[in-house]
Amino acid sequence: MDSSSPNVVSLMSLKGKVAVVTGGARGLGYEMMRALAESGASVACIDLLAESGAEAVAKIESECGVKATSWGCDVTNDEEVAMLFDQIVQQHGGLDILVTAAGINNVCPAIDYTADTFRKIFDVNVSGTFFCMQQAAKHMIRLGTGGSIITIASMSAHITNRPQCHAPYNATKAAVLQLTKSLACEWAPHHIRVTAISPGYFDTAMNRAVLAQQGEEGTKMRDIWEANTPMGRMGVPHELKGVVTFLASDAASFVTGSEILVDGGYTAW
Ligand SMILES: NC(=O)c1ccc[n+]([C@@H]2O[C@H](COP(=O)([O-])OP(=O)(O)OC[C@H]3O[C@@H](n4cnc5c(N)ncnc54)[C@H](O)[C@@H]3O)[C@@H](O)[C@H]2O)c1
């Protein structure tokens, strides 16, 4: 037995770590935040939905036995984001992990997209992601602790979804993926790993809204999504828990600048 080989279960533990999750009030962000808490990290949720965020962290705190705090904030507000990160680091005593799940979508033919809606989706998905990454890295560098930053891109960074149109959303996710790679290179000397998770179709409020917007056609659209997925179904949010825990942990110590697609095989066809 090689005594220099660390035990893999210990490597996966996040005991004593501090994690910030944006968009943690519901959906994929909530499940990932819960996974980090179940693995031992104290968690801070940043979300526009302050009330849902507070309920989410109360549930996590009582069920996972870790400190969990909620911060109502719009991630596009760079000054507020900077202030919040300062306060979170002070209250939690450090910062080791960031997951950027806050994001929006808007299904609309490109011809009809308004300039305001286009700017808004880039502001939330790209600028908001960048501001949070920047603040997390600033603290990790100042504290000299390094850390793990995990962005939530999408399979839409690689493929064009069908039958619905949301070209600007797809472009924002390609931008998130490139930010992930560029910042992984820039911050590697500071022992900060930057990686991306790219989900396929998951059953969340975001996708339920997309389907509801189509009325009766929504059922057909869901069937098309599932038929185009080799596994023949949408993902369940808890199916991101293992991946996010792995990327956050020391088990991924040589993983940076890369992406894990969790899409039931959608992009393999
Ligand atoms: N659901 C999917 O199939 C899927 C697929 C690929 C990628 N994604 C990405 O995963 C992430 C989470 O998606 P979801 O399906 O859980 O969506 P969701 O709508 O259920 O959750 C998104 C969360 O982000 C928050 N949020 C939105 N704008 C914000 C802002 N400006 N500031 C702070 N918080 C804000 C919302 O309040 C919400 O709690 C998104 O980035 C999405 O693009 C989702």
Task: Please say if the pLDDT value at position 2 is more than 70.
Answer: no
CA of 9 to the centre of ligand 1 (A): 30
Report pTM: 0.98
* CB-defined site of ligand 1, < 6 Å: 22-23, 25-29, 47-49, 74-76, 101-104, 124, 128, 152, 154, 199, 201-202, 204-207
The packing angle between helices 27-38 and 50-64, to 10°, is 30
pLDDT (tens digit per residue) in 126-180: 999 999 999 999 999 999 999 999 999 999 999 999 999 999 999 999 999 999 9
Q: Which of 51, 71, 104, 266 to mutate to test the pocket of ligand 1 (most atoms within 8 A of CB)?
A: 104
Amino acid 171: pLDDT: 98
Amino acid 139: pLDDT: 98
Question: At the fourth CATH level, which superfamily is domain 8-262?
Answer: NAD(P)-binding Rossmann-like Domain (3.40.50.720)
Q: What percent of the chain is predicted at pLDDT more than 70?
A: 99
Amino acid 179: pLDDT: 98
Ligand 1 atom, smallest distance to 100 CA: 41
Q: Is 169 a catalytic residue?
A: yes
Choice among 169, 198, 201, 249 that is catalytic: 169
pLDDT (tens digit per residue) in 181-237: 999 999 999 999 999 999 999 999 889 988 998 888 888 999 999 999 999 999 999
What is the average per-residue pLDDT within 35-44?
98
